Chain A
Amino acid sequence: LAKTTQPISMDSYEGQEVNITCSHNNIATNDYITWYQQFPSQGPRFIIQGYKTKVTNEVASLFIPADRKSSTLSLPRVSLSDTAVYYCLVGDILNSGGYQKVTFGTGTKLQVIP
């Protein structure tokens, strides 16, 4: 299983763009990269998923370089409500038919400051 490494914590001021990088040096060919957000005492919530290059949705962008050994979640103009833990997940969803081979690390605790 691909192991992921993220910063333990980050601080950012409101209105700034935040970039959280995840390292996954032993990512396999069939692995997808997925990011989740978790607020205290709640279940994680899906943010974005990608395989390569760049993916963008209404809340975030995901940048994946050609070697796929890392990925960067970009949150534009964060607000106080973006204070949460962000998890980077890497795993073979395609061939496994599910998330049983996807592991959660300890995530990055983002604190947005007024």
Chain B
Amino acid sequence: DGGITQSPKYLFRKEGQNVTLSCEQNLNHDAMYWYRQDPGQGLRLIYYSQIVNDFQKGDIAEGYSVSREKKESFPLTVTSAQKNPTAFYLCASSSTDGPVGSPLHFGNGTRLTVT
């Protein structure tokens, strides 16, 4: 089955440590996205990438970094500079084929807790 895999499902880190969240897709989608969701809130865009080796900042990129070395993979690093990193992180992808492309396909998220 095609889809998006995020790992791990739960992640615990101490304050001051960098942590990398994994996102892999086998949908052959060009575009990939990282969102952050806080309790009772909608999703906010952190970073997005429309093609390999290129990515752009979203609305809340400060304290985060990404890479896109392969089409299938778009890892997100939460750095120690992120002031409030505890959140639910969602990775998504979409196709850019056709006039409107495909809907966003989401993984099942990683819940990060920093203490």
Binding site for B on A (CB under 8 A): 32, 34, 36, 41-46, 49, 87, 93-94, 97-100, 103-107
Contacts and interface: CB of A to CB of B under 8 A. Distances in A.
A44 B104 CA distance: 9
| Interface of chain A: mostly helix, strand, loop or mixed | loop
28 contacts: A41-B88, A41-B109, A42-B109, A43-B4, A43-B91, A43-B106, A43-B107, A44-B43, A44-B90, A44-B106, A46-B103, A46-B105, A49-B100, A87-B42, A87-B43, A93-B101, A94-B99, A94-B100, A97-B31, A97-B96, A98-B94, A99-B31, A99-B48, A99-B92, A99-B94, A100-B58, A105-B42, A107-B42
For chain B, what secondary structure do more than half of its interface residues adopt (helix, strand, loop), or is it mixed? strand
A100 B111 contact: no
Given A44-B106, A87-B42, 9 more contacts: A41-B108, A42-B109, A43-B108, A45-B106, A98-B33, A98-B96, A98-B101, A99-B92, A106-B40
B53 interface: no
For chain B, give the interface size range.
20 to 34
Interface of B: 4, 31, 33, 35, 40-45, 48, 50, 56, 58, 88, 90-92, 94, 96, 99-101, 103-109, 111
